Each structure stands twice: as C-alpha cells, then as structure tokens.
C-alpha cells in the first residue's frame, strides 16, 4: 500500500500554515511552522502573486495533506463526489470526513489522523462489532466504532486506557456520539459542510479538477 513516508511537518511548511498533522506538538513552540516559516528546500522563495491555478493546487494539496490521502485516491474521491447528487465540494468533504481513520481522530481516540491510521491498520478498532483494519473504510450513519478488547477475557490494554481516560482532548462534532464508558462512538448523521472545521476552500478544488 502506497503511503507518504517523509516528515509530515514539511507538508505544513509547503502549504504555509498549520495542518495539525502531529497532534499535540502542533500546539507547542516546537511546531515546524512556528520555527521555520519558509517552505522546505534550500532555495529562497520569490515574492510574487500566485496564479489562479497555483491557488487551486495549493488548496487541493492542503486537503490531501490534512486527510493523509495520496493523489490517486483523492481524485477517486472527487469522482465519487461529482456523481453524488448535491454540491460536489460539500460531497467531497463529507467523503473525507467519513473515512474510518478520520472518525477515530474526531472521536479523540488518536492524537492525529496519522496516529489514527496506524491504530486502524493494527486492528485496534471494530465497526459494528467486526474487526476493521482499513483506514479508508467509509463509516455510515448508525455504524458504531469501538476499541477492540484484547485477550480471551476481554480486558482493555493499558495503552487504550491511557488514551481514553479523562475528557476528550477535542470537541466531538455533533454528527458523532461518543460513549466514553464503552470506549465507542456512533455516527448519528452524515456531516454537513457547515459542521466541518477544516479551513479548506472546496470551491477551488472543484475548479482545479474541472479544467
């Protein structure tokens, strides 16, 4: 399976803003965007007005980097969004938000989407009681995402207790319902574009792929 293996902080520096790809570190002075404002590389960037195409490309890359999706899969999501009735840009965000790794992140079960992807890959979650190790699985309304209990006695591993103890580290969106006691969450509805807090201009992404 293809995946990005370079330092994710380079992606934030390339975009020029925080994408919160490293979890708690992004909120500290150790954040790479705070320490090194210029894009990665040795060349000195020239100050010039960005073309419309460059702005569209930047917004598309921002969405890709934020959700940890490679180009081929991102284009696939765009085609799916275009075929769904409604506004293409809103449909695209909805598809990205309903990915299992993103749902795990939104439920505060992981520090970042990258961390969530790793946990899902290692089979630490179930969907409706069945083990699921596919980060790109699209969660549907009514699906219950829960930590998988370990051992024959159904005990909870210590690292899961450490992650889930205390209040959620982030605000859980209204389209998800968190059950802290069961260490599970349910998707109660599809996310609306107005309920998604990512600073992404989907109009520019639609324009980029429509050329």
pLDDT of res. 129: 92
Q: Residues of 56-94 as b/e, b for ≥16 C-beta within 10 angstroms?
A: bebbbbbbbbbbbbeeeebeebbeebeeeeeebbbbbbb
Q: Which of 42-46, 134-138, 170-174, 189-193 shows the lowest per-residue confidence on average (mean pLDDT)?
A: 42-46
Per-residue confidence at 163, pLDDT binned at 50, 70, 90? Answer: confident
Residue predicted with more confidence, 102 or 2: 102
Unique residue bearing structure tokens 């829960």: 146
Q: Which residues, including other chains, have CB under 8 Å from residue 95's CB and lie 6 or more apart? A: 77, 80, 81, 138
The two three-digit tokens of residue 149, written as one number: 């209990």
**pLDDT value for 1:** 47
Q: Is the pTM of this model over 0.95?
A: no
Q: Quote the CA–CA distance of 91 and 67 in Å, as a whole number.
A: 15
Q: Does the pLDDT at position 22 exceed 60?
A: no
């Amino acid at each position: 399976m293809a995946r990005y293996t370079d330092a994710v902080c380079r992606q934030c520096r390339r975009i020029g803003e925080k994408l919160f790809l490293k979890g708690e570190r992004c909120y500290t002075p150790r954040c790479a965007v705070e320490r090194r404002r210029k894009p990665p590389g040795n060349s000195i960037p020239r100050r010039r007005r960005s073309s419309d195409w460059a702005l569209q490309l930047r917004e598309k890359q921002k969405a890709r980097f934020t959700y940890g999706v490679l180009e081929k899969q991102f284009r696939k999501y765009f085609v799916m969004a275009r075929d769904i009735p409604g506004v293409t840009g809103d449909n695209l965000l909805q598809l990205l938000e309903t990915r299992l790794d993103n749902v795990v992140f939104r439920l505060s079960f992981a520090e970042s989407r990258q961390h969530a992807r790793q946990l899902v890959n290692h089979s630490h979650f179930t969907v409706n009681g069945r083990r699921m190790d596919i980060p790109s699985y699209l969660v549907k309304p009514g699906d219950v995402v829960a930590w998988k209990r370990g051992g024959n006695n159904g005990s909870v591993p210590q690292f899961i207790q450490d992650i889930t103890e205390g209040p959620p580290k982030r605000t859980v969106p209204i389209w998800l319902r968190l059950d802290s006691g069961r260490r599970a969450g349910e998707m109660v509805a599809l996310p609306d574009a107005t309920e998604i807090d990512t600073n992404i201009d989907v109009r520019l992404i639609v324009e980029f792929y429509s050329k």
